[in-house]
Amino acid sequence: MRSSARVLIIGVGGLGCPALLALARSRVGTIGLCDDDVVDRTNLHRQILFSDADVGESKLGVAAREARRIAPEAAVRLHRTRLLPDNALEIVRNYDVVLEGSDNFATKFLASDACMIAGVPIVHASAVRWMGIVMAVSASGRPCYRCIFEDIPRDGAPACAEAGVMGPVVGTIAAIQVDLAIATLDGLPVGGQIAMFDGRSDSVRRRRLAPRDDCPLCGAERRIRHLEAASYSSPACA
């Protein structure tokens, strides 16, 4: 039942804020929040939980107050930390589905790998400029995030901090992400689904991804079985 479901949001930013609002209104029993950042005025245009009065405050503190206001019956768990190789498995194992909305590549791959090892479904989301993408991964972990993006980009590929993102795009992407997360909780076979949103044309394209046989995480000769800190070295985005 959805009222007993446990859902974790990694990153309470442009994606995590609208995702939290949608989850709180969906009667999810437990909502976990993982972040260690504070509210910054430059992000208010897309981080819709926060206002000028919250600048400098812990994101988790403000987000928890809002979640409890909307859904006082829900339990809110706060993980006041970044997702790290030494805490990722301990954190994700306590949830039925994970929503990953971080804006740095290292955390995205770490969340993917941790959920695969722990056998927890995860729904990834990202947005840059006018474009956004969502991918659902089932508890079996196949196909997975690495079936598309094999490893952390080493060539300085831009994320939202460098390239920017339109505020309405993250709202749309978060709505799709929550939709796939709830479908996962309801037992629907959405693993492997990808949704791509183009804010310039206001169009959504959906497709189902085929697993990649040589994927290092979920392929026939799986190579990633442990979380090694050196594998997730990547500059973080604000």
pLDDT digits (tens, 9 = 90+) for 87-142: 999 999 999 999 999 989 999 999 999 999 999 999 999 999 999 999 999 999 99
**Is pLDDT at 185 greater than 90 in this prediction?**
yes
Residue 235 — very low, low, confident or very high, per pLDDT cuts 50/70/90? very low
CATH 3.40.50.720 is held by the domain 2-231: yes
Average of per-residue pLDDT across 147-169: 76
Higher-confidence residue: 185 or 167? 185
What pLDDT is stored for residue 237 in this prediction?
A: 32
Task: Give the chain as a 3 state SS string.
Answer: CHHHCEEEEECCCCCHHHHHHHHHCCCCCEEEEECCCECCHHHCCCCCCCCHHHCCCEHHHHHHHHHHHHCCCCEEEEECCCCCCCCHHHHHCCCCEEEECCCCHHHHHHHHHHHHHHCCCEEEEEEEECEEEEEEECCCCCCCHHHCCCCCCCCCCCCHHHHCECHHHHHHHHHHHHHHHHHHHCCCCCCCEEEEEECCCCEEEEEECCCCCCCCCCCCCCCCCCCCHHHHCCCCCC
Local confidence band at 153 (pLDDT 50, 70, 90 cut-offs): confident
What mean pLDDT do residues 18-35 have? 96
| Reported pTM | 0.94
Report domain extents, the chain.
2-231
